[in-house]
Structure 1
């Protein structure tokens, strides 16, 4: 079973790298987001308060829909040999965003290299939720590197981990929770947004730390003191998980990553530029390759 899942995951990654994302009007995650947005508005319309109970209802309903769809695909694929394998791989691919992630970062680097600050800001705005229209080049590069590092976990490692652990329903449930966190898991939504946000924290706890460890594995740090500084920086961000891959990337590249009025990671590092975005892409790709190799080896031994 686990070998088959590893093979399906590998096929899904190849499809993602070859084809990229579907248009938003057809993408299952985008369709899910629109449906969840409609239900969100229904729950909180006419002056209804953003209560935790309604947050639980939204989360349970949305995750239930994702689980139901995934289980339908699994049932359709069961016993259908190669056709079932392909169907499951295509469904799993929709939870991954490898090509899109590296492509967005590359567009920021291209614009910074060309001296097109407005273009770099616009490209960075596609990756992060912070305002980018007044950022200097160093902070634009910082935003791109931070987003690349964080989404290595959120958009690649975490769905892959949950697929290997719990099959397609696990990956779909994770992606549903992660999408809800992006939609309503901010502080202005209070206890309503707290529900998907805390659940996302739980589901991302291990993938975020695996991602950070893999980044350090492929670009080792010079000593224990630097590792302690990385851990300190990882714990300084508002998110219990996002700080780990971001701090790891900052330290292995030797750059200072900053989100104004929020955090500074590796404050002693130099200001990042376009070349550092390229290095972040290469480092992220190496880390994913290392995790893929380690995962494939473990899956082979488990089923052996």
Structure 2
């Protein structure tokens, strides 16, 4: 159960401490990825695939080494898992950024709100109105709760430290090179596709947790309707699910047209009701926190099941049982 304990401890540290201001491990990974890109970059999908494979494999292997180094030592394994969990989660920082956007909008400082929300989204924020800033903030809360909290916890529950670190490597690379800019249209293809794959199940778990966290059955039904009806129109196979779930549960309308470095993307309309506004950020933060807590419970349960399965299939344990059984037989004659 040391994996489950480590996940829970790491989640608590993230909730109370948040990301370190300096020397963040993810930032270090990003620097290493940038250095490697100088050698691997080409307008080529195969070269981009090699780039992603090298970085993800190296990170997952580092996690595997940490698992093996602490195997059989419950306390050490718990602390190593907790450290890895804290390093890859971004729940506290996400809620803090959203709270800052909310505070700027409440005092009417639209310029500061635009700059603040720029820490959360990749779209052009310089011309957004107050309601558009609020929409961007809520959409980021939804998507990043799935990407930066639910997904790493689930992969950690299933695969332990290699799952935590390997997932974070994939997600970070998608943020770095997975967008459809002229430079990364081909080179970043593998990063974007792999991120879609590893987030497919977590996004749907996050959506289900959002519906389960709805304040009423009516709001849960509205969220389910939005997921079924509106999510397919979203350009992201995963982002649309969680954003639609948030829209329905909050009773607001998300989605619309966004500008990315001059490229306009239409995300469709998600949910019904009035367009999201500044007053909806606080309820969205509370919903994101409930989803985060729910995902911890799911990941701990996943870790417990994985541990039980591992014990049943461990060949060493099976061999040991067989030896003890054989030795207990009475000798003939």
Under a length normalisation based on structure 1, what TM-score does the superposition of the two structures give?
A: 0.90
- Pick the structure with greater CA Rg: 2
Of 4, 21, 33, 1:6 maps to 4
Q: How does 1:26-37 map to 2 (within 5 A)?
A: 26-37=23-34
Structure 2: where are the runs of 5+ without partners? 258-264, 310-333
Q: What residue in structure 1 maps to residue 262 of structure 2?
A: none
d(CA) in 2 for partners of 1:293, 1:186: 32
Paired with 1:86 and 1:296, the residues of 2 have a C-alpha distance of 15
State the aligned residue count: 297
Residue 224 of structure 2 corresponds to which residue in structure 1?
227
Q: Tell me, what secondary structure is at the counterpart of 2:57?
A: helix
TM-fit CA distance, 1:166: 1.0
Q: 1:281 to 1:169 in 2, by over 3 A?
A: same
Aligned position for 2:135: 142
- 1:213 equivalenced with 2:211 (yes/no): no
One of 237, 243, 246 as aligned partner of 1:246: 243
Deviation at 1:264, TM superposition (A): 3.6
State the Cα RMSD in Å: 2.1
Q: CA deviation at 1:223?
A: 7.7
The 1:300/1:159 distance shift into structure 2, 3 A limit, reads closer
CA contact (8 A) 1:112 1:273 kept: no
The residue that corresponds to 2:185 in the other structure is: 190
Alpha carbons of 1:91 and 1:222: their partners in 2 closer, same or farther (altered >3 Å)? Answer: closer
Q: How far 1:294 sits from its partner (Å)?
A: 4.7
Displacement of 1:194 in angstroms is 0.9
Q: Cα deviation per residue 1:108-165 (whole Å; 9 max; x = unaligned)?
A: 1111111111111111000000011110000000000000000111000100111111
Quote the Cα distance in structure 2 between the aligned partners of 1:52 and 1:128. Answer: 25
Check if 1:169 corresponds to 2:162. Answer: yes
**TM-score, normalising length from structure 2?**
0.83
Cα offset, 1:40, TM superposition: 1.3
For 1:137 and 1:130, the matched residues in 2 are separated by: 15
Residue in 1 that maps onto 2:255: 258
